[in-house]
Amino acid sequence: FWDFLILFFCLPVVIFNEITKKRLLGDVSCRIVPFMEVSSLGVTTFSLCALGIDRFHAATSPQASARPIEQCQSIIAKLAVIWVGSMTLSVPEILLWQLAQDTSPVSGMVTEYCTMKPSSNLPESVYSLVLTYQNARMWWYFGCYFCLPILFTVSCQLVTRRISSTEKKTECRGTKHSQCESHLNCTIIGLTIIYGLCTTPENVCNIVVAYMSPDMSKQTLDLLNLINQFFLFFKCSVTPVLLLCLCRPLGQAFMDCCCCCCEGCGPDTASSEGSADSKLKTEMSSSIFFDKPRESPPPLLALGTPC
């Protein structure tokens, strides 16, 4: 959902700015777009960490094959912590950026761009904190939003694989459950690889800009910033598709939802049978992934008449 927000709000602003050299929504977009982009990195980072912890608990749980389904309130609470934490850590971006104007020496037209410069109207204590954040921004990006999710995921996967290999020797778990665990682990690894590949150029550019910015022209800096935003939009586009492809129950449920929307105009017997078939397959596959408890069969009705 956060990837959708990035593509819906930030992508049009960036495209409009590149075409017209005018900033859509002015100073507001200069502050909101970086805030949402950094929040997106935080949401992905802490989500990958939470998924790694979940896989670790699944591997170390003594009764992993009979784990109950997590309650909706617990999931919402975790998502709230991830989202609120990510947005809180991104608040300095709102105070760091502001709108600036420049006259092109070639065409003579006034262009608008966003510059990383705290406003002098801020209180002295806040201004010093924003300056500290600006100086440490490069290493904060690299440590929290790049190293943390990758190291966290790799360490959790290594521990999980070691425990799984030990349990395979003792044959404690069923085949279906082991396949389920391997599918979920592959999903997390795939998400981490995409995230790492898409954030590597941004971290490289940040390091280059931090140490070579006096020797670089404004056009080069703008091009590097555009490349960073392109990779961010690419990540936001690829991640949901990858998740739907790797996570089979989620992908099957999404396809069934699309099929139901398409068949809503003129349902027939064949389509209803097909949808019932697909629903049964989805329930079976999801029961493998989420370990639904078996329902007890309904009691047999008494035969006979009241007499």
CATH of the domain at 154: 1.20.1070.10
**Residue 264 falls within a domain, yes or no?**
no
Residue 194 resides in a domain: yes
User: Who contacts 181 (Cβ-Cβ below 8 Å, separation ≥6)?
Assistant: 55, 58, 59, 64, 160, 164
CB atoms near residue 251 (< 10 Å): 16
CA distances from 295 to 67, 273, 283, 299 (A): 15, 24, 13, 12
302, part of any domain: no
- Asked if residue 39 is part of any domain, the answer here is yes
The region of weakest confidence among 51-65, 90-104, 240-254 is: 51-65
Condensed to tens digits (0 to 9), the pLDDT of residues 190-230 reads 888 888 888 888 888 888 777 776 667 777 777 888 888 88
* Coil/strand/helix, residue 305: coil
Q: Could you tell me if residue 138 is inside a domain?
A: yes
Is 224 part of a structural domain of the chain? yes
Q: What does the pLDDT look like over 2-33, one tens digit per residue?
A: 888 888 888 888 888 888 878 888 788 888 98
Q: 3-state DSSP call for residue 94?
A: helix
For residue 238, being part of any structural domain is answered with yes
Residue 30 resides in a domain: yes
Task: Report the number of distinct structural domains present in the chain.
Answer: 1
Average pLDDT (54-61) is: 76
User: 275-306, pLDDT tens digit by residue?
Assistant: 445 554 544 444 444 444 444 445 554 455 55
pLDDT of residue 176: 64
What is the rounded CA–CA span in Å between residue 245 and residue 187? 9
Please state whether beta strands 97-103 and 110-116 pair in parallel, antiparallel, or not at all (unpaired).
antiparallel
Give the residue-averaged pLDDT of 97-103.
80
Q: What is the mean pLDDT of the chain?
A: 76
Distance CA 79, CA 46 (A): 10
Domain hosting 107: range is 1-61+70-168+183-208+218-246
* pLDDT for residue 270 is more than 50: no
SS (H, E, C) 108-120: CCEEEEEEECCCC
Share of the chain above pLDDT 70, in %: 74
pTM of full prediction above 0.85: no
pLDDT score of 46: 92
